[in-house]
Amino acid sequence: MIGEFDLIDEYFSSRCTDRQDVVLGIGDDAALVQMTSGDQLVIAMDTLSVGTHFPENMPARALGYRSLAVNLSDLAAMGAEPLWCTLALSLPTTDRAWLDDFSAGFFQLARQYGVALVGGDTVRAPLAVTVTVHGRIEPGSAILRSGARVGDGIYVTGYPGDAVAGRKILGESGQSGGSDLPGLVDRFLYPQPRVSEGRALTGIASSMIDLSDGLHADLVKLMSASGAGATLDASQLPVSKSLVSWAGSGEAVSLALTGGDDYELCFTVPPDRQQEFAELSGDWQCGVARIGTVTDGGKVDWQLDGQHLSILESGYDHFQQEDGCDQTVQV
Ligand code: ADP
Ligand code: MG
């Protein structure tokens, strides 16, 4: 067992990323950071709660990583540059090996993006992690959900569906077992927030959202915020080879549409920006695909081989459904 203040010192303050604009980090009643005048502050927060967002024995390193990743993904979806974060940690016990792994995962990502942990809170309670991230953006440059217009192309990064397959493989046990295919469990445990891609889309994308509840459900949010609809071609969905061999090609499409936990970016690009976008995205390692076009009217309509797909459940809703993974797609 380790006391609260030694814990904070040993596993968090001594491992922090340095930033010159952090005037005062962990240790006082509040943190002080130096703002650049003229910038807008972009703020996002997400909680991961045991049983709801991750299985009980999820590897601690993955939990530390993921708690920051999902927040960086929200900033990426605004086109913002992440700067500082805070961490609220509810722990049932203080296990040194667990804390070591948790902070290793957290700081792996914090270092990768140069984000400084400037404060937090530590309490004894059932396991839950809340991270708040602060970032910056030039005024007027944030990419909102509401900016899509009729005729814009609709794009998605990466391979939606891989993460939910990983989550299913991991199952309740939190162990990957022997049945993993390359990448699937890792895509759930270690989602790569698309921070540089999101930044690069400022001035190009007309609207953007990051995928947490499933591609279809998040597209419905994007289009409804924009007062628009969409037609989408499911045959253009980027579906990974691993997902197809694990789930079969029909089920792979269903998982890609409804799975959730992807933390990819879904965005729209106006016709007069498409050339610029093609040049910019040509060397994106994560991959990107055009999957449809913004239409008028409120419907988000998926087609496959000339037939309409009906999505039985329209998204992961914490207060209506037990499990967003149970959605299925019917032709
Ligand atoms: P207070 O009682 O004034 O809120 P605390 O004693 O809770 O302060 O925390 C002491 C310092 O440690 C503060 O700077 C706080 O932001 C920081 N802190 C507490 N828990 C964490 C954590 N899990 N990660 C990072 N900083 C933390
Ligand atoms: Mg205080």
Report the CATH number at residue 84.
3.30.1330.10
**Strand pairing category for 300-304 and 229-233:** parallel
Amino acid at site 177: G
Decide: 110 in ligand 1 pocket, CB within 6 A.
no
Determine the pLDDT at residue 125. Answer: 95
pLDDT at 315: 39
Whether residues 152 and 125 fall in one domain: no
The answer, yes or no, to whether any atom of ligand 1 lies below 6 A from the CB of 279, is no
**Please, are residues 81 and 198 in contact by the beta-carbon 8 Å criterion?**
no
Residue nearest to atom 8 of ligand 1 (CA): 29
End residue of a domain, out of 79, 111, 137: 137
Range of the structural domain that residue 111 is part of: 4-137
Q: What is the pairing mode between strands 40-49 and 128-137?
A: antiparallel
The residue from 98, 120, 137 where one domain ends is 137
Residue 155 sits in the same domain as residue 128: no
The pLDDT of residue 101 is: 97
Q: Is 8 in the pocket of ligand 1 (CB under 6 A)?
A: yes
Bridge partners (DSSP) of residue 128 are 49, 90
The answer to whether residues 156 and 305 belong to one domain is yes
In a shared domain, residues 86 and 163: no
Q: Which two tokens stand for residue 91?
A: 């722990």
Return the ligand number nearest the Cα of 89: 1
Check whether residue 85 and residue 151 sit in a common domain: no
> What is the residue-level pLDDT of the chain in tens, covering all 331 positions?
788 889 999 999 999 888 999 999 999 999 999 998 899 999 999 999 998 888 887 899 999 999 999 999 999 999 999 999 999 999 999 999 999 999 999 999 999 999 999 999 999 999 999 999 999 999 999 999 999 999 999 999 999 999 999 988 887 455 555 555 668 999 999 999 999 999 999 999 999 999 999 999 999 999 999 999 999 999 999 999 999 999 998 899 999 999 999 999 999 999 999 999 999 999 999 999 999 999 998 899 999 888 898 886 543 444 544 443 334 555 4
Q: Are 165 and 311 within one domain?
A: yes
Match 């991750």 to its residue by tokens.
54
Strands (DSSP E) found in 211-318: 229-233, 265-269, 288-295, 300-304, 307-311
Ligand 1 atom at minimum distance from 121 CA: 20
